[in-house]
Chains A and B, each alone.
Chain A
Amino acid sequence: RKEVEQDPGPFNVPEGATVAFNCTYSNSASQSFFWYRQDCRKEPKLLMSVYSSGNEDGRFTAQLNRASQYISLLIRDSKLSDSATYLCVVNSRGAQKLVFGQGTRLTINP
């Protein structure tokens, strides 16, 4: 079983739609959680960290359920520029390395 699992998609949604991504992790010692965005042939860039209480940044909302070892990302009022691959990323306390999910590919259609 992969340490971080995501639905690879692809998700194709119309502009303005709301889209949600899910992610599960297997290591219960995981302490830090992130969503990264990766555009085609580019490096990943941090979209947002995910906190236990859930957090929001503009149109983006992240949720964490430690009991279920589940992380989600919600994108509201999607824009064409949101088209990218979204990577769920975790790391364990004391461990410096990040573990990446395989990513969920999103395409926003005009």
Chain B
Amino acid sequence: GAVVSQHPSRVICKSGTSVKIECRSLDFQATTMFWYRQFPKQSLMLMATSNEGSKATYEQGVEKDKFLINHASLTLSTLTVTSAHPEDSSFYICSARDNYGYTFGSGTRLTVV
């Protein structure tokens, strides 16, 4: 089946630094990828839709200058959390649509200290 590889799986960073998360579709081409955030005991909230070769579409309330998304190829989308703060600590998950449905990456647990 389709596989989406996401890394790093866990990252701890200092407040004010930037963190890049990568999401790769390994055996299919993904023109669209989705980035979600999940806080403890809450559901996944869509942050943005990443489109290959064009600008991402952000959901209401998500700061596009803080969460930079790049989707430069059909197999790679990246999310950069810029100037991270403790309130950005969360579980970030990417997803891509393949021929059968939606496949999720394994998630990145970000802790900002």
Contacts and interface: CB of A to CB of B under 8 A. Distances in A.
Interface stretch (A13-21, A57-65, A69-77, A99-107): A99-107
A66 interface: no
A103 to B, nearest CB: 5
Interface in A54-104: 87, 96-103
Contacts of B109: 41
A43 B107 contact: yes
B49 A43 contact: no
A96 B97 contact: yes
Given A96-B32, A97-B46, A103-B43, A43 B102 contact: no
Contacts of A98: 34, 46, 95, 102
Interface residues of B, number: 21
B39 to A, nearest CB: 11
Given A96-B32, A97-B34, A97-B49, A43 B43 contact: no
Interface residues of A, number: 18
B43 A101 contact: yes
Interface string A40-62: 01111110010000000000000
Interface string B34-58: 1010000111111001000000000
Interface SS, B side: strand
Contacts of B110: none
A100 B43 contact: yes
Interface in B70-113: 91, 93, 95, 97, 101-102, 104-107, 109
Contacts of A41: 91, 107, 109
A44 B93 CA distance: 9
B97 to A, nearest CB: 6
A23 to B, nearest CB: 12
Interface of B: 32, 34, 36, 41-46, 49, 91, 93, 95, 97, 101-102, 104-107, 109
14 contacts: A8-B41, A41-B91, A46-B101, A46-B102, A49-B101, A87-B43, A87-B44, A96-B49, A97-B34, A97-B46, A98-B34, A98-B46, A100-B43, A100-B45
